[in-house]
Amino acid sequence: MVALTQTAAALLLAVDTPTICNAIEVIEGKRGFDRFTRGTVLASDAGAVLLGQARTARISALAPSDDPVEVVRARRMDYYRHMADGTGPRIAVVQDMDGADAIGAFWGEVNTTIHKGFGLCGALTDGVMRDLADMAPGFGVLAASIGPSHGFVHVTEVAVPVTVYGLTIAPDDWVHADRHGAVVIPADYLPELPTAITRMQKAESIVLDAARAPDFDFTRFKTAWAAFEAART
pLDDT tier, 233 (very low <50, low <70, confident <90, very high otherwise): low
- Work out the widest C-alpha separation in the chain, in whole angstroms: 72
With contact defined as beta carbons under 8 Å apart, do 150 and 35 qualify? Answer: no
- Please name which of 54, 144, 137, 62 lies closest in space to residue 98, comparing C-alpha atoms: 62
pTM for the model: 0.95
Q: Are residues 173 and 89 in the same domain?
A: yes
Which CATH number fits the domain that encloses residue 61?
A: 3.50.30.40
Q: Are residues 140 and 199 in the same domain?
A: no
CA–CA gap between residue 141 and residue 23 (Å, rounded): 24
Q: Are residues 31 and 42 in the same domain?
A: no
pLDDT tier, 58 (very low <50, low <70, confident <90, very high otherwise): very high
Q: Which residues make Cβ contacts (< 8 Å) with residue 214, sequence separation at least 6?
A: none
Q: What is the pLDDT of residues 200-229, one digit of tens each?
A: 999 999 999 999 999 999 999 999 999 999
Q: Are residues 9 and 121 in the same domain?
A: no
Q: Which residues make Cβ contacts (< 8 Å) with residue 225, sequence separation at least 6?
A: 207
Q: Are residues 147 and 62 in the same domain?
A: yes
- Please name which of 45, 55, 47 lies closest in space to residue 134, comparing C-alpha atoms: 45
Q: What is the torsional sign of CA 27, 28, 31, 36?
A: negative
Q: Are residues 145 and 53 in the same domain?
A: yes
Q: Are residues 142 and 87 in the same domain?
A: yes
Instruction: Give mean pLDDT, residues 31-49.
Output: 97
Q: Are residues 210 and 108 in the same domain?
A: no
User: Considering the chain, what is the average pLDDT of its residues?
Assistant: 96
CA–CA gap between residue 186 and residue 216 (Å, rounded): 39
Q: Are residues 121 and 211 in the same domain?
A: no
Q: How far is CA 87 from the centre of its chain?
A: 18
At 231 the pLDDT is 86
Q: What percentage of the chain carries pLDDT values higher than 90?
A: 94
Q: What is the pLDDT of residues 118-142, one digit of tens each?
A: 999 999 999 999 999 999 999 999 9
At 232 the pLDDT is 76
pLDDT tier, 5 (very low <50, low <70, confident <90, very high otherwise): confident
With contact defined as beta carbons under 8 Å apart, do 100 and 148 qualify? Answer: no
Q: Are residues 31 and 61 in the same domain?
A: no
Range of the domain at 229: 1-35+189-233
- The total domain count for the chain is 2
Instruction: Give mean pLDDT, residues 10-36.
Output: 96
Q: Are residues 65 and 95 in the same domain?
A: yes
CA–CA gap between residue 14 and residue 49 (Å, rounded): 8
Does residue 1 have a pLDDT over 60? no
Q: Are residues 65 and 114 in the same domain?
A: yes
At 2 the pLDDT is 66
Task: Output the CA–CA distances (angstroms, integers) from residue 122 to 115, 142, 146, 228, in the order listed.
Answer: 8, 8, 16, 36
